[in-house]
């Protein structure tokens, strides 16, 4: 467990029968929040209320509900949820099965949190790269097709789609070189923007 504690920002063993939390790895401000209330269910709620952004709070409250955890983890060893923390950016919370009773109901779980902000930023950058033209930095054809598909579900009556084409680009590239073609494409993107 000590080796795992180095991977996670926090790591707590939750005894569901006794409704208690045992800390393996934590931060001082988390320990302080845990000590302000008693009972694992109330402690989890209190900590999350103080560390999770308003945008993520409803989903994380549903995720940390210890009363429904056993049924949500049926036939699963691990469940996880991403959320945005007030001080750490993107984080990932996980419940990991530790022990069950004879009926298969959870009795102990490990609750971990991990900062994943760098990974989420990289993921968002990669998504933007696939949706953006490298030369002009405007949204590309792939993005256009994806957005149009989304709109086809509920096309607004006042929707106007304008499509533009740069004519004779191949001839320009062949006669003046790719730099000239890039200049025309950049100029067209600037005009459209």
The per-residue DSSP string of 21-48 comes to EEEEE--HHHHHHHHTS-SHHHHHHHHH
**Predicted pLDDT at 71:** 93
Spatial contact of 26 and 6, defined as CB atoms under 8 Å apart: no
Rounded to 10 degrees, the C-alpha dihedral 15/18/22/26 comes to 80
Q: How many C-beta atoms lie closer than 10 Å to residue 104's C-beta?
A: 9
Find the angle CA(9)-CA(13)-CA(17) to the nearest 5 degrees: 150
CA neighbor of 94 nearest in space, from 74, 78, 117, 72: 78
Spatial contact of 54 and 19, defined as CB atoms under 8 Å apart: no
Spatial contact of 120 and 145, defined as CB atoms under 8 Å apart: no
What are the tokens at 83? 């959320």
pLDDT digit of tens for each residue in the chain (193 aa)?
A: 666 766 788 999 999 999 999 998 888 899 999 999 999 999 999 999 999 999 999 999 999 999 999 999 998 999 999 999 998 899 999 999 999 999 889 999 999 999 998 888 888 888 888 888 888 888 888 888 888 787 766 767 887 877 778 889 899 999 999 999 999 988 988 888 8
Residue with structure tokens 């499509």? 163
Instruction: Specify the pairing of strand 78-85 against strand 20-25.
Output: unpaired
Alpha-carbon distance of 147 to 127, in angstroms, equals: 14
Long-range CB contact pairs, 182-185, < 8 A, 24+: 182/135, 185/135, 185/136
**Predicted pLDDT at 159:** 76
């Amino acid at each position: 467990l000590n080796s795992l504690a180095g991977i996670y920002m926090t790591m707590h063993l939750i005894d569901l029968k006794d409704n208690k939390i045992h800390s393996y790895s934590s931060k001082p401000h988390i320990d302080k929040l845990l000590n302000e209330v008693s009972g694992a269910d109330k402690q989890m709620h209190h900590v999350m209320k103080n560390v999770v952004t308003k945008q993520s709070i409803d989903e994380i409250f549903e995720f940390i509900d210890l009363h429904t955890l056993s049924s949500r983890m049926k036939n699963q060893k691990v469940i996880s949820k991403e959320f945005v923390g007030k001080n750490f950016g993107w984080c990932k919370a996980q419940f990991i099965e530790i022990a069950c009773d004879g009926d298969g109901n959870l009795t102990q779980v490990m609750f971990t949190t991990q900062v994943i902000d760098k990974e989420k930023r990289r993921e968002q950058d990669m998504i933007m790269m696939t949706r953006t033209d490298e030369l002009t930095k405007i949204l590309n054809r792939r993005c256009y097709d994806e957005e149009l598909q989304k709109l086809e579900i509920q096309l607004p009556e006042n929707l106007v789609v304008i499509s533009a084409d740069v004519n004779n680009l191949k001839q320009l590239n062949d006669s003046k070189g790719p730099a000239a073609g890039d200049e025309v494409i950049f100029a067209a993107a600037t005009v459209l923007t």
